[in-house]
Homo-oligomer: A and B are copies of this chain.
Amino acid sequence: MQQLPVIQPGRPAEGQRPVFDKIGIVGLGLVGGSIALAAREVWPASLVIGVDNKDVLETAMRLHAIDVAADDLIVLAEADLVVLAAPVRQNIALLSELDDNVRQAAVITDTGSTKRAIADAARALPARFTFIGGHPLAGAAKGGLEHARPDLFKGRPWLLTPSGDAGGPAVEQLSAFARALGGEPRIVDAGTHDRMLAFLSHLPQLTASVLMAVVGDAVGKDGLSLAGRGLADSTRLASSPPEIWKDIAATNEDELGPALDALITLLQDLRRDLPFGERLTEVFTTAAGWRELLTK
């Protein structure tokens, strides 16, 4: 007698054909946790292995984000995909531990916000590993596993920065993985990535945090009670934790530095122009034009 398939609500009866059988995720924050949740939803037959500290793993098990939990990389011995989703410099440090722990051929990727530093470090990996840098452009106002959700990547670009052959099978596999999780994979070189993101993400983040610090220090708690939606929007990013951004700043200094210089120079221009408003009119007009594109 044939067995009927068990239909689970919210999951396809059999899932999509798995791209990877054993998916190891190191670092279960907002992004790592969301990859885990999405992968379990899309490929119920694949094994999702989470590596983090015991507290985070406990939360991950409670949220049904992973199948296997461990605080040691040895659990990745049979992984065919390893996703490094810790802060950038932790990911770089983890690379050197993969040879001793992952025993078979595997695709190695990461989710860090800078791509050149890890690509450089990945050149030292043994030949059985294929490293392809990755950066899903998805985020939320608050980080951490408790804010992870399987639809975090839906409709968002997922940048891939292969070092060598962009047409290789591992790139194909990783693109299929990103697409199955809702993302839109795009190939870009690591240098272009780091320059673009310095402006699109790192500069706005630093600006928001500096603005919030300056305003808060100047007006205090009572003053902030008068603040409207304008200040709230402008500083929404300022809730971000320093640990992640320390690594981003350090590994993208040569791009972020000049981006900050451009911002500082224009602020100085405007400061000198306050009584006249000519430069202000130019800058506001330019800004409103770009802002219009952003809403489309």
- Write the residues of chain A forming the contact surface with B, with a CB cutoff of 8 angstroms: 137-139, 156-157, 196, 199-201, 203-219, 221, 223-224, 226-242, 245-247, 249-250, 253, 256-257, 259-264, 266-268, 270-271, 273-277, 280-281, 283-295
Q: Are B229 and A139 in contact (CB under 8 A)?
A: yes
CA gap between A266 and B77 in the complex, in Å? 47
8 shortest A-B CB distances, which residue pairs? A216-B290, A246-B277, A242-B284, A212-B287, A209-B287, A238-B287, A242-B281, A253-B274
In the assembled complex, which residues on chain B have CB atoms less than 8 Å from the CB atom of A249?
270, 273-275, 277, 280
Chain B residue nearest to A157 in the complex (CB): B226
CB < 8 Å neighbour of A237 from B233, B250, B267: B233
CA gap between A256 and B199 in the complex, in Å? 25
In the assembled complex, which residues on chain B have CB atoms less than 8 Å from the CB atom of A267?
206-207, 210, 260, 263-264, 267
CB < 8 Å neighbour of A203 from B214, B226, B284, B291: B214
Q: Are B250 and A275 in contact (CB under 8 A)?
A: yes
Secondary structure call for the A interface: helix
In the assembled complex, which residues on chain B have CB atoms less than 8 Å from the CB atom of A224?
200, 290, 293-294
What is the total number of copies of this protein in its complex?
2
CA gap between A112 and B201 in the complex, in Å? 34
In the assembled complex, which residues on chain B have CB atoms less than 8 Å from the CB atom of A138?
228
Q: Are B253 and A275 in contact (CB under 8 A)?
A: yes
Q: Are A264 and B260 in contact (CB under 8 A)?
A: no
21 contacts between A and B (CB under 8 A): A137-B228, A139-B230, A201-B231, A204-B231, A206-B267, A206-B270, A212-B290, A213-B286, A213-B287, A214-B262, A214-B266, A218-B259, A224-B290, A227-B294, A231-B294, A238-B284, A238-B287, A240-B284, A247-B277, A249-B270, A267-B267
Q: A139-B230, A231-B200 are in contact. Are A213 and B283 (CB under 8 A)?
A: yes
Q: Are B233 and A287 in contact (CB under 8 A)?
A: no
CB < 8 Å neighbour of A288 from B137, B223, B238: B238
In the assembled complex, which residues on chain B have CB atoms less than 8 Å from the CB atom of A205?
230
In the assembled complex, which residues on chain B have CB atoms less than 8 Å from the CB atom of A275?
249-250, 253
Chain B residue nearest to A235 in the complex (CB): B291
Q: Are B226 and A200 in contact (CB under 8 A)?
A: yes
In the assembled complex, which residues on chain B have CB atoms less than 8 Å from the CB atom of A274?
249-250, 253, 256-257
In the assembled complex, which residues on chain B have CB atoms less than 8 Å from the CB atom of A221?
293
